[in-house]
């Protein structure tokens, strides 16, 4: 009776008997095609010896495990430092963009738009290969962290700005009318409300940041991917590149999904009903729809 | 003067590299649009097997660094006896990564259209195709295009990663210049300027469309 539980969606009504039969056929054909593709890929892997014991035995060595772990820790270290700095920079730039003073708003706008337009890899190149020319020698770690900070900081600035602007205008009007100062309105009224709605976007940007640490491999920062590449040249294990990519991919995906799970947990926590309030917390959370769109968009585009 | 000379002396290098960047961008953009739309169709379809595939693909690719995807395609495919030149590998890597984001943009765009719209269209007797054509798509496009331009923007910037995998595009200008003994910083700054020239029109189009559609909604 499973077919009866299918909810109507925007494009598809609850299927009738004929549609159900057709869907079953499409589902069957689709499954067969997908399984065939999957089977072919596995077959290619097996055929070219990717599952051979020699290739996978590389993971048995303590030295190798140590190397992979070190790479992973380097990835996490760069991501953690850059996250803290990027959130800080984002807050500063957002404050600039929301400022009442034109001489603050202008430069903040230029910085935010500028750093978002430059490819992150070029920022890292600038710090690692370009900076020595003006007498500034930066370690690969610093180049990675600075690049990640500037880029993600400017993306986060836009998240913060649209989050604050999404709080209904009545809130700041009410706050001003009871005599609060500008700074008080921001810190006691706007920010506490904005943070709830911004949190998912912030975390998904931090997931992007974590993934982008893998670019460090192109400026010789010894993060996970670089270590994997190094290990893949081991001739005595028949160049186990595919096994290493499978393991490395699993590590990245598990880490990102763990971050996303934290995001969902936090989202549930901060959006729980607030004691008084006649309409219940859900209704209170509604924002200006356009601003809500903008918020949802950031971080979901692979930037 | 040496700053300007870095560009004028290596004019053909810059031009060729940026032409490759644009080519990468257009090819993988078109590929991602097609494949991403197909994935989105899978994800909203009433067939569970296709939905599961769409969800699985998007989860997998969205949580993998693009560099790792590149790494797998460029160095892994030869081990699987799939051989193309690096440019084609770069297009494959960019397409498969970007498709996941195109899929999400389209899916969430379609989801912004209230379900009552579809019900109303059905109840006044429009067929499925008519409902799609006159009621749902015109509203969905508004919600889909702005995020799609952001995806395009990200793709353009992501093409630089191909430089790490032997594709001669804008990101690789640095390595070429340093071989020629040119000052690296100058070259990099010119590449940055080139990217600003490419990115700014995209951003302007995006803002225009948003303003246009915000008013008429």
Of chain A, the percentage scoring pLDDT greater than 90 comes to 32
Structurally, how many domains does chain A consist of? 2
pLDDT digit string, tens, across residues A196-223: 888 888 888 898 899 999 999 888 888 8
- Listed ranges A24-28, A277-281, B56-60; the one with the highest mean pLDDT: B56-60
Residue A52 falls inside a structural domain: no
pLDDT digit string, tens, across residues B148-188: 888 998 999 999 888 888 777 777 888 887 777 778 888 88
What is residue A273's predicted lDDT score, i.e. its pLDDT? 53
What is residue A242's predicted lDDT score, i.e. its pLDDT? 86
Which positions in chain A touch B136 (Cβ < 8 Å)? 10-11
What is residue A284's predicted lDDT score, i.e. its pLDDT? 42
A148 and A27 share one domain:
no
Which positions in chain B touch A122 (Cβ < 8 Å)? 160, 171, 188, 191-192, 195
A228 and A146 share one domain:
yes
Q: Are A30 and B62 an interchain contact pair (Cβ–Cβ within 8 Å)?
A: no
Which positions in chain A touch B195 (Cβ < 8 Å)? 117-119, 122
A112 and A137 share one domain:
yes
A144 and A256 share one domain:
yes
A33 and A118 share one domain:
no
Euclidean distance between CA atoms B16 and B27, whole angstroms:
16
Confidence of residue A79 (pLDDT cuts 50, 70, 90): very high
For residue A279, give its domain range: 58-297
What is residue A90's predicted lDDT score, i.e. its pLDDT? 94
* Overall CATH class of domain B2-216: mainly alpha
Q: Are B115 and A257 an interchain contact pair (Cβ–Cβ within 8 Å)?
A: no
Residue A11 falls inside a structural domain: no
The ipTM of this complex is 0.85
Q: Which of B6-10, B43-47, B102-106 has the lowest mean pLDDT?
A: B6-10
A150 and A199 share one domain:
yes
What is residue A5's predicted lDDT score, i.e. its pLDDT? 46
pLDDT exceeds cutoff 60 at B199 = yes
What is residue A276's predicted lDDT score, i.e. its pLDDT? 40
Residue A260 falls inside a structural domain: yes
Closest Cα in chain A to B204: A113
Confidence of residue B217 (pLDDT cuts 50, 70, 90): very low
Nearest CA to CA, how far is A92 from chain B (Å)?
Answer: 23
Here the CATH number for the domain that contains residue A181 is: 1.10.3720.10
Average pLDDT over residues B202-207: 82
Residue A303 falls inside a structural domain: no
A154 and A183 share one domain:
yes
Nearest CA to CA, how far is B126 from chain A (Å)?
Answer: 13
Residue A121 falls inside a structural domain: yes
Taking the model in full, what pTM does it have?
Answer: 0.84
* Spacing of C-alpha A201 from chain mean position: 8
What is residue B91's predicted lDDT score, i.e. its pLDDT? 94
A121 and A186 share one domain:
yes
Q: Are B214 and A290 an interchain contact pair (Cβ–Cβ within 8 Å)?
A: yes
Cβ atoms of residues B43 and B35 within 8 Å = no
Q: Which tokens in the block code for residue A73?
A: 């820790």
SS3 (DSSP) at A75 = helix
pLDDT exceeds cutoff 80 at A71 = yes
Which positions in chain B touch A303 (Cβ < 8 Å)? 150, 153-154, 157
A111 and A64 share one domain:
yes
Nearest CA to CA, how far is B35 from chain A (Å)?
Answer: 15
Which residue in A63, A40, A45, A14 sits closest to A234, CA to CA?
A63
A97 and A23 share one domain:
no
pLDDT exceeds cutoff 60 at B133 = yes
Average pLDDT over residues A178-184: 91
Euclidean distance between CA atoms B188 and A143, whole angstroms:
15
A93 and A225 share one domain:
yes
Domain ranges of chain B: 2-216
A152 and A268 share one domain:
yes
pLDDT exceeds cutoff 80 at A191 = yes
Euclidean distance between CA atoms B106 and B122, whole angstroms:
22
The 10 Å CB-count burial string (b at 16+, else e) for B159-190 is bbbbbbbebbbbbbbbebbeeeebbbbbbbbb
Residue A222 falls inside a structural domain: yes
Euclidean distance between CA atoms A186 and A208, whole angstroms:
28
Q: Are A297 and B46 an interchain contact pair (Cβ–Cβ within 8 Å)?
A: no
Closest Cα in chain B to A229: B71
């Amino acid at each position: 009776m499973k077919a009866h539980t299918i909810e109507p969606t925007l494009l598809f009504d609850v299927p009738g008997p004929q549609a159900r039969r057709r869907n079953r056929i499409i589902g069957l054909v689709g499954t067969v095609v997908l399984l065939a593709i999957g089977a072919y890929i596995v077959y290619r892997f097996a055929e070219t010896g990717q599952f051979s014991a020699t290739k996978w035995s590389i993971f048995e060595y303590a030295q190798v495990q140590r190397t992979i772990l070190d790479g992973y820790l380097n990835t996490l270290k760069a991501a953690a430092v850059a996250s803290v700095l990027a959130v800080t920079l984002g807050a500063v730039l957002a404050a600039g963009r929301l400022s009442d003073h034109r001489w603050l708003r202008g430069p903040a706008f230029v910085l935010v738009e500028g750093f978002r337009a430059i490819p992150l890899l070029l920022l890292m190149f600038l710090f690692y290969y370009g900076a020595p020319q003006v007498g500034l020698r930066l370690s690969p770690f610093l180049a990675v962290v600075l690049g990640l900070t500037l880029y993600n900081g400017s993306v986060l600035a836009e998240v913060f700005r649209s989050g604050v602007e999404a709080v209904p205008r009545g809130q700041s009007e009410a706050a001003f009318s009871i005599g609060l100062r500008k700074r008080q309105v921001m810190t006691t009224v706007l920010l506490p409300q904005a943070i709830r709605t911004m949190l998912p976007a912030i975390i998904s940007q931090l997931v992007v940041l974590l993934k982008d640490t893998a670019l460090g491999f192109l400026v010789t920062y010894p993060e996970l991917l670089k270590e994997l590449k190094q290990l893949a040249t081991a001739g005595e294990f028949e160049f186990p590149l595919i096994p290493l990519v499978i393991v490395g991919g699993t590590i990245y995906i598990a880490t990102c999904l763990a971050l996303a799970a934290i995001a969902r947990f936090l989202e549930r926590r901060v959006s729980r009903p607030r004691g008084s309030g006649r309409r219940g917390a859900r209704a209170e959370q509604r924002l200006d729809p356009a601003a809500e769109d903008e918020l949802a968009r950031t971080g979901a585009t692979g930037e | 003067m040496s700053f300007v000379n870095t560009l004028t002396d290596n004019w053909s290098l810059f031009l060729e590299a940026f032409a490759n960047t644009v080519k990468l961008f257009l090819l993988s953009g078109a590929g991602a649009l097609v494949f991403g739309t197909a994935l989105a169709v899978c994800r909203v379809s009433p067939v569970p097997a296709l939905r599961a595939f769409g969800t699985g693909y998007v989860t997998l690719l969205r949580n993998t660094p693009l560099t790792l995807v590149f790494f797998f395609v460029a160095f892994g495919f030869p081990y699987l006896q799939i051989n193309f030149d690096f440019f084609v590998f770069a297009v494959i890597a960019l397409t498969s990564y970007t498709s996941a984001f195109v899929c999400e943009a389209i899916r969430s765009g379609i989801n912004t259209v209230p379900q009552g719209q579809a019900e109303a269209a059905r109840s006044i007797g429009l067929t499925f195709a008519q409902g799609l054509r006159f009621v749902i798509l015109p509203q969905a496009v508004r919600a889909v295009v702005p995020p799609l331009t952001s995806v395009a923007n990200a793709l353009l910037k992501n093409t630089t990663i191909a430089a790490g995998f032997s594709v001669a595009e804008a990101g690789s200008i640095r390595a070429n210049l340093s071989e020629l003994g040119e000052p690296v910083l100058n070259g990099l700054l010119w590449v940055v300027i080139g990217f600003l020239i490419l990115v700014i029109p995209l951003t302007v189009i995006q803002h225009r469309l948003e303003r246009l559609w915000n008013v008429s909604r």
